[in-house]
């Protein structure tokens, strides 16, 4: 962060407390409260971290008002159009766009690590067939620490690098095998002659009984969906990975924690919930009924795929995803998809409704992604595993960045205690 001599003064209880101010390369200044408790005997209070920066980072920047998302300075719409997922993985992991040789080497390293230890397939068999694929992913990714002991020592930069490549490389295989197990079909092994997205599609949809040709339209759409989900600043699951990593936990345990957090419907689980909501709405004439429910304070229903903690304008990923949905469905000859019609009508009505305008609720990345994944043949239960697959590189990049900060320490928030004050134990006969 840019050093400066800016300070802020907090006046409290008759005391003036000087707080250092740090300035970013872009975005708001931050007030450093690290010494506030020691100097003033008070904590700050921000349960949802709505105004709290948890770390300094050089990886991703979001401007919620402008609807801008930059990865190492490059805007997401340009990356989605001109780059591809493994190149974006390189950018996130190493900070710069790769040369042709660097990209070829990176892609070869990822491609040659897509297989799982053969013994790991028995983990899948321990689950019920109707287990949610996210339950399987949390379990299997956590179990990787039991198989890849030579890349769990986080103090060794080489082991951190090996763990990073293993996770990026193996997540498609784990997600695809979770799907195959779920539908009772045999596992399909990765192929080194296929690109990352094509490999994933083939492992999901090929069967031993016949040849499978990857549709280039679908693999391009799949790769773009991966790119749009790669990283997103300090969201809930990334913050979970950072907090787990701060205790020194191994990389596989940290990523398993991130997958668990992403599963929630307020976060990565929203893509599954959004499509299920669009299906429940069914036809445009039922949209007003659901908009009224979303506005009703007494109704816990929320318009899934709408709203965002940071974006108070259109989520730039949703814009690209909406364009991709149009292209993919038209190219697949399902452009009169009723769910897409409901989604577009819902977006039109909601983004002109006073409630949504006032609260700045716009479609987010999860609103359109499910429509494309559904058209590609995935069940809704696979939507969040695909999000987790794509976000693994973001989690790992943030994990590496935190570990490379010599000043990093264990995350240990304090609290505003509102419980009982000291009282003596009372024997049961006296209660
Ligand atoms: C992701 O953080 C990230 O970067 C996440 C993500 C990533 O890439 O990692 O972008 C991925 O998680 C996208 C978000 C997916 N979630 C959903 O689509 C679920 C539906 N959205 C909401 O749950 C909500 O909008 C959140 C959780 C996304 C954001 O919640 P905030 O920032 O805590 O906002 P809030 O809940 O305080 O809402 C502010 C107001 C509230 O009304 P009031 O209490 O002020 O009267 O807006 C209302 C909310 O009731 N509101 C909604 C709404 N979202 C917020 N009302 C109806 N429908 C909605 N979707």
3-state secondary structure of 297: coil
> Residue 274 CA: which ligand 1 atom is closest?
18
150 is known as an active-site residue:
no
Q: Output the CA–CA distances (angstroms, integers) from residue 48 to 23, 61, 218, 326, in the order listed.
A: 23, 19, 38, 35
| 305 CB within 6 A, ligand 1 | yes
The pTM (predicted TM-score) of the whole model is: 0.95
CB-CB contact of 305 with 271 (8 Å): yes
pLDDT band of residue 2 (cuts 50, 70, 90) is low
pLDDT band of residue 407 (cuts 50, 70, 90) is confident
CB-CB contact of 122 with 136 (8 Å): no
Rounded to 5°, angle at Cα 52 from 46 and 56: 155
pLDDT digits (tens, 9 = 90+) for 130-144: 999 999 999 999 999
| Mean local confidence (pLDDT), 407-430 | 96
Task: Find where tokens 């805007």 sit.
Answer: 75
Which of 308, 326, 335, 405 is catalytic? The answer is 308
pLDDT of residue 333: 86
Structure tokens at 273: 């919930």
| 293 CB within 6 A, ligand 1 | no
In 3D, which of 372, 361, 200 has the Cα closest to residue 271?
A: 372
Span from the CA of 174 to the centroid of ligand 1 (angstroms): 29
CB-CB contact of 285 with 345 (8 Å): no
Tell me which of 307, 350, 370, 387 to substitute to probe ligand 1's pocket, judged by most ligand atoms within 8 Å of the beta carbon: 307
Residues near 84 by Cβ (< 8 Å), separated by ≥ 6?
195, 223, 227
| 241 CB within 6 A, ligand 1 | no
pLDDT digits (tens, 9 = 90+) for 90-114: 999 999 999 999 999 999 999 999 9
pLDDT of residue 5: 80
pLDDT digits (tens, 9 = 90+) for 43-54: 999 999 999 999
Q: Rounded to whole angstroms, how far apart are CA atoms 62 and 147?
A: 37
| Mean local confidence (pLDDT), 237-248 | 97
Taking 90 as the threshold, does the pLDDT of residue 248 lie above it? yes
Span from the CA of 13 to the centroid of ligand 1 (angstroms): 36
Pairing of strands 30-31, 60-63: unpaired
pLDDT digits (tens, 9 = 90+) for 297-309: 999 999 999 999 9
pLDDT of residue 355: 93
Taking 80 as the threshold, does the pLDDT of residue 335 lie above it? no
| Mean local confidence (pLDDT), 353-357 | 92
Atom 4 (ligand 1): residue with closest C-alpha?
A: 235
Pairing of strands 74-75, 60-63: unpaired
pLDDT band of residue 3 (cuts 50, 70, 90) is low
Which of 366, 374, 405, 424 is catalytic? The answer is 366
End-to-end CA distance of the chain: 57
Helix spans in 184-235 (H): 196-205, 216-228
CB-CB contact of 151 with 163 (8 Å): yes
| 71 CB within 6 A, ligand 1 | no
How much of the chain exceeds pLDDT 70, in percent? 99
| Mean local confidence (pLDDT), 53-57 | 96
pLDDT of residue 331: 86
Task: Find where tokens 């709203």 sit.
Answer: 307
| Mean local confidence (pLDDT), 347-351 | 90
Q: Rounded to whole angstroms, how far apart are CA atoms 44 and 232?
A: 25
Mean pLDDT across the chain, nearest whole number? 95
Span from the CA of 335 to the centroid of ligand 1 (angstroms): 29
Span from the CA of 305 to the centroid of ligand 1 (angstroms): 9
pLDDT digits (tens, 9 = 90+) for 17-45: 999 999 999 999 999 999 999 999 999 99
Tell me which of 263, 265, 308, 320 to substitute to probe ligand 1's pocket, judged by most ligand atoms within 8 Å of the beta carbon: 308
Neighbour-count burial of 14, counting CB atoms closer than 10 A to its CB (0-12 exposed, 13-18 middle, 19+ buried): exposed
Taking 90 as the threshold, does the pLDDT of residue 265 lie above it? yes
| Mean local confidence (pLDDT), 65-86 | 97
405 is known as an active-site residue:
no
> Residue 355 CA: which ligand 1 atom is closest?
56
Q: Rounded to whole angstroms, how far apart are CA atoms 134 and 385?
A: 6
pLDDT of residue 167: 98
């Amino acid at each position: 962060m840019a050093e400066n001599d800016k300070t802020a003064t907090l006046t409290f209880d008759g005391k003036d407390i000087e707080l250092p101010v740090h300035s970013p390369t872009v975005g708001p200044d931050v007030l450093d409260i690290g010494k506030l408790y020691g100097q003033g005997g008070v904590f700050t209070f921000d349960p949802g971290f709505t105004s709290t920066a948890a770390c300094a980072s050089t990886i991703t920047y979001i401007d919620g008002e402008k609807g801008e998302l930059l990865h190492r300075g490059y805007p997401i719409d340009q990356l989605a159009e001109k780059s591809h997922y493994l190149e974006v993985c390189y950018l996130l992991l190493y900070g710069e766009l790769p040369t042709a040789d660097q990209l070829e080497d990176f892609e070869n390293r990822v491609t040659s690590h897509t297989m799982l230890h053969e013994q790991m397939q028995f983990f899948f068999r321990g689950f019920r067939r109707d287990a949610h694929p996210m339950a399987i992913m949390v379990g299997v990714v956590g179990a990787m620490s039991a198989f890849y002991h030579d890349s769990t020592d986080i103090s060794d930069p080489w082991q951190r690098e090996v763990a990073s490549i293993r996770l990026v490389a193996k997540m498609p295989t784990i997600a695809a095998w979770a799907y195959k197990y779920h539908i009772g079909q045999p596992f399909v092994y990765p192929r080194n002659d296929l690109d990352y997205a094509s490999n994933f599609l083939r492992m999901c949809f090929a069967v031993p009984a016949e040849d499978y040709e990857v549709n280039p339209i679908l693999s391009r759409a799949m790769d773009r969906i991966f790119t749009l989900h790669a990283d997103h600043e300090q969201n809930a699951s990334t913050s979970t990975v950072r907090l787990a990593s701060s205790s020194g936990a191994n990389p596989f345990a940290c990523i398993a924690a991130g997958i668990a957090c992403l599963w929630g419907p307020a976060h990565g689980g929203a893509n599954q919930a959004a499509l299920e909501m669009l299906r429940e709405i069914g036809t445009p004439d039922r949209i007003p009924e659901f908009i009224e429910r979303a506005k009703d304070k007494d109704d816990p229903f929320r318009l899934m795929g709408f709203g965002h903690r940071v974006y108070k304008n259109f989520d730039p990923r949703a814009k690209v995803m909406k364009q991709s949905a149009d292209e993919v469905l038209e190219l697949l000859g399902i452009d009169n998809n009723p769910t897409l019609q409901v989604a577009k009508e819902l977006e039109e009505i909601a983004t002109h409704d006073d409630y949504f305008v006032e609260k700045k609720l716009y479609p987010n990345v999860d609103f359109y992604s499910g429509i494309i994944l559904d058209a590609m043949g995935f069940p809704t239960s696979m939507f969040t595993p695909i999000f987790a697959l794509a976000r693994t590189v973001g989690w790992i990049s943030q994990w590496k960045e935190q570990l490379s900060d010599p000043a990093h320490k264990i995350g240990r928030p304090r609290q505003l205690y509102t419980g009982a004050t000291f009282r003596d134990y009372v024997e049961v006969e006296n209660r």
